[in-house]
Amino acid sequence: MWDLSFRPAKQPRASGIRVGFAPLKRLLAILFVALLAAQPVVVGDTLLLKNGDQLKGTVTLESAGQVRLTHDNLGTLDIKSELITGGTVSVTLQDGSTVSGTLVGWSEGHWLVKPKDLPTVSLVVADDGSLSRVVDEPDDAVAAGTEPVGADDEATATRSEEVTEEMREAAKARISAAKKVIADAQKELKTPWTGTISLGGSLSQGTSDAANLLLDVGLTREVPDSKTMIKAFYILNTDGDSTTQNWFQGSIDHSWNFIDKARRWGLFGLAVFDYQEQASWEQRFNANIGAQYLLVDATRDPGSDWFQRLKLRARAGPGIRKEFAGDFTDPALEVLLGGTWDITFLKGVTFTGNAQVYPDLSEIGEFRVTANTSFMVALESLEGVSVGLDLKFQYQSQVDPGQQDYLLVVSGKVQYSF
């Protein structure tokens, strides 16, 4: 512990900051923390303590190796030289001159200060507290030529370099601490829920050949140990009194990442409901639960590779499928084999999606395939707005006679994220 005598200055009480969930308040709170961490250092003296702390203020060098520091917030501190490893000071001498440089330390009743590119100055404290230079007279060894002149200067110069390096390392530690404060604030203020809503047009081929309108919405909740995605889209096209495309899909995808410490293994649960008026089955529900494994989770600095973030995940799990129309309405057991991907090429340029095949365990040899993917580009001029392309694909090997067994939909859309 420091042997400090505190005479704290009176400080105004900081008013509390209430942080709500509104995006503007979260942004202001983060900017406030960043401003505190990055604000310029007030010009003045600096003391580097043995515990790594730095104190800034006005330094007065006193007798018996005592330093008095006047701090803006802490008031006046009396600190023993044994607790100080260095610093930068500027002191006024009795003759009116000023000595500025690295505070090397207290030695043999003198304060040692090393100005930049100049020899170390030795200062003595008079009874009235004033400082003056110590004029050294050559001792017998120096006069006889048996001791090199400037040996003490070389030692103090070495110590000065050590102090400078210590202060540099302490500064790096403070920057790292400030970054951690900002990161913790962002994590604390970040709401776990995010959402998107998209509008666009699409072209479909397969069970329906038409140009359509597309509405797509999604909600995502992500916390350290789990992630929930709720998605739904609706595609509609009419030609006079007839409907040429009428497709709704809603899904819930929940994953848990807690099986291993490396957070690569996890569990997932997926439930999907489809309504396709033009398909033989019309309505279909399937649910699966299983294991997932994070194959790749890589980040790159901008410009160093073809991507900035790459995440690939494999999934496998049994489930059940139920169709409500057509010739195959009995519940069927099936297995999900597939994966998901999330790629950021550049800031605001992303490619995300999933693909899976479902082998039918009730009818060996039968299977179905689904895939959904999006390529999006964020608009810098409009915050939260992106434009991009969607692809949705479904294939089923077992359908009613005369019915198409696939549907491909390609969409262009405008998306707003909130």
**pLDDT tens, 184-213?**
766 655 668 899 999 999 999 998 888 889
* CB-based burial label for 312 (10 Å; 0-12, 13-18, 19+): middle
Q: What are the pLDDT digits (tens) for 217-229?
A: 999 998 878 899 9
Instruction: Give the pLDDT band of residue 180 (cuts 50, 70, 90).
Output: confident
**Domain edges within the chain:** 5-10+17-187, 192-417
Looking at residue 15, its pLDDT comes to: 41
pTM: 0.56
> How high is the pLDDT of residue 320?
97
Nearest to 220 by CA among 198, 186, 196, 201: 196
Q: Which residues lie closer than 8 Å to 13 by C-beta, 6 or more apart?
A: none
Q: Return the DSSP state at 64.
A: G
Give pLDDT tens digits for 39-98.
333 347 888 888 888 888 999 999 888 999 998 888 899 999 888 988 899 999 999 899
User: What does the alpha-carbon distance between residue 33 and residue 38 come to, in Å, rounded to a whole number?
Assistant: 9
Residue pair 84/103 in contact by the 8 Å Cβ criterion: yes
pLDDT of the residue at 150 = 45
pLDDT at position 242 is 84
Higher-pLDDT residue of 165, 189: 165
The CA distances from residue 22 to 18, 26, 369, 401, in Å, are 11, 6, 41, 54
> CA–CA separation, 396 vs 280, rounded Å?
11
147: burial class by Cβ within 10 Å (0-12, 13-18, 19+)? middle
Q: pLDDT for 112-125, tens place per residue? A: 999 988 888 899 99
Identify whether the C-beta of residue 103 lies closer than 8 Å to the C-beta of residue 123. no
Predicted pLDDT of residue 28: 55
Rounded Cα gap, residues 410 and 200, in angstroms: 10
pLDDT for the residue 18: 41
Please give the backbone phi and psi of residue 86, each rounded to the nearest 5 degrees, phi first. Answer: 165, -165
CATH class of 192-417: mainly beta
User: What is the separation of C-alpha 322 from the centre of its chain, rounded to a whole number of angstroms?
Assistant: 42
Query: What crossing angle do the helices spanning 23-38 and 151-189 adopt, rounded to 10°?
Result: 170
**Rounded Cα distance, 218 and 254, in Å:** 13
CA distance 158 to 107: 15
Give the residue, 314 or 39, on which the prediction is more confident.
314
**Going by C-beta distance under 8 Å and a sequence separation of 6 or more, which residues neighbour residue 267?**
255, 256, 259, 289, 290, 291, 292
Residue 404, helix vs strand vs coil: coil
Over range 302-317, report the average pLDDT.
94
> Can you give the pLDDT at residue 187?
63
Average pLDDT, the chain: 83
| pLDDT per residue as tens digits for the range 356-411 | 999 999 999 999 999 999 999 999 999 999 999 999 999 999 888 888 899 999 99
Closest CA to 110 of 59, 161, 61: 61
Look-up of token digits 């530690």: 173
Tokens of 192: 């776990």
Q: Answer yes or no: are the C-beta atoms of 19 and 33 closer than 8 Å.
A: no
Query: pLDDT tens digit string along 253-290?
Result: 999 987 566 778 999 999 999 999 988 889 999 999 99
| pLDDT, position 64 | 85
- pLDDT of amino acid 37: 42
Q: What is the DSSP string of 254-267?
A: EEE--SSTTS-EEE
Residue 259 has what pLDDT?
58
pLDDT band at 128 (very low <50, low <70, confident <90, very high): confident
